[in-house]
Amino acid sequence: METLTLIDRFNLWLKESITIKLLSIGILVLILLIPTAWIMSIMEERQQRAEEVVGEVAGKWSGSQVIAGPVLVIPYQKTEKVGTGKDAEVRTVMENAYFLPATLTVKGEVNPQVLHRGIFDVAVYESTLDIAATFGQPDFASLGVAPESILWDQAKLRAGISDLRGIVETPSLTMGEKSIPVEPTSNLGYSFYGGSRNRGDQESNWLSSGVEGSLPMVSAADVPQSLSMKLALKGSSVISFLPVGRTTDVFLKGQWPDPSFDGEFLPNSRLVSEKEFEATWKVLHFNRPFAQQWLGDGKNFEKYDVSTRLIIPADQYQKSIRTVKYAILLILLGFTALFLVEISRKIRIHPFQYILIGAALIVYYTLLISLSEHVGYDLAYVMATAATVTLVTLYARSFLNDGKMLALFSGLLIFFYLFIFVIIQAQDYSLLLGSTGLFLVIAAIMYFSRSISWYGEK
């Protein structure tokens, strides 16, 4: 009997040791985490590119629209003292008083369409809006403004529109039966007239972009009791309304199957079908924290909106990113299955063969993200899974000579991919399904490895 040298025995131990095999598999798993991180960054980059395309198209078409008003704006004069002592100077300053409508009713119809930029899709729309408002008598006394200071002849009606590029036709503003010409909002920032300083709307950002019409008023008796406005407006992805009325009613409908109702207030009623949607909001002044009238200091109402977002169901990036987070789990399960086959069937699998199988499991994610951009996530998942399982199975035939073991290994891979697909789809139950599934997998590994002699004992 030939006596083995110390080096030969050491090499034989490295070759036969289960501990060394487990250690080498663990190192391979850690190495494979590096390309997994690269693939994650590629997916995030593609998602960012898609968002940039949306911004580029919106920049040329028109951005998301926020509509506010109409609001009654009445200037008044007041005096203020500037400086001290002999250098003191009294100046006349013009301020604006703002009065919100008693009732505001918006009826709108959105006509969406999808624009294409390369492989990316962007939801845009054209809308027609019918806006009706009623006003009460302005209460200047409660604001501390003297009647003789009020500049009735400079009163205006203003409506805020966040992106004026979206105006398709000249807006029509009607008070009773009289049509009021409208122009883009002017008098922004500081200006001077006749030696007096005009602060204008420098702080009322939600009205700084929009349209306005001058009112033929000489006294409070001329304040419009009711008025109407028609807007033809285009925008991208989102249309929002600020509930500036003491009572605000918004009705919106459109030919779009996937709306998302965002904003501070959800619809009181909604109807969403495969082709269209309808939604109705009712907001009272009790529901939002701002007054019906104020003097010319800044008011930020933009976060108190009712909003509809036109969603394109292109969630392949989010789902793909969530899928790649399970890459380490899939690699571990795949390597564990191979290892148990190797131990139980006394089959030798070289670490290089583990590396090739791990590389195939990693390349799977690049297939997934590239295919999903063209055919959607679900079909891409099926195609990438079929390609990867087929490739690994054909390669495994080189060392798994037993047809039953080859079929078992392929079945396990399919089960693992199916398991992860179910987790991704059932987002609300992903933690429950994931933890339950892992528990069952560990139980199965315990069961099938119970008869393995880990120390080589017979």
Q: What string of DSSP letters covers 359-382?
A: HHHHHHHHHHHHHHHHH-HHHHHH
Q: Which residue has the higher pLDDT, 106 or 361?
A: 106
Min mean pLDDT across 155-164, 236-245, 288-297, 338-347 is at 338-347
Length of the chain (residues) = 458
Fold (CATH) for 63-314: Immunoglobulin-like (2.60.40)
CB 121 within 8 A of CB 115: yes
pTM above 0.85, yes or no: no
CB 279 within 8 A of CB 270: yes
How high is the pLDDT of residue 453? 62
Please write the tens of the pLDDT for every residue from 32-68: 777 777 777 777 777 777 777 777 777 778 888 899 8
Long-range contacts of 86-93, Cβ-Cβ distance < 8 Å, separation of 24 or more: 91/195, 91/196, 91/197, 92/195, 92/196, 93/196, 93/197, 93/198, 93/199
Place of tokens 């969630």: 315
How high is the pLDDT of residue 15? 56
Confidence of residue 128 (pLDDT cuts 50, 70, 90): very high
Confidence of residue 280 (pLDDT cuts 50, 70, 90): very high
Q: Mean pLDDT for the chain?
A: 78
Q: Where are the domains of the chain?
A: 15-50+317-448, 63-314
Confidence of residue 299 (pLDDT cuts 50, 70, 90): low
Place of tokens 């297939």: 367
The first and second tokens of residue 244, run together, are 């500036």
Q: What are the Cα distances from residue 311, in Å, to 123, 125, 308?
A: 7, 12, 9
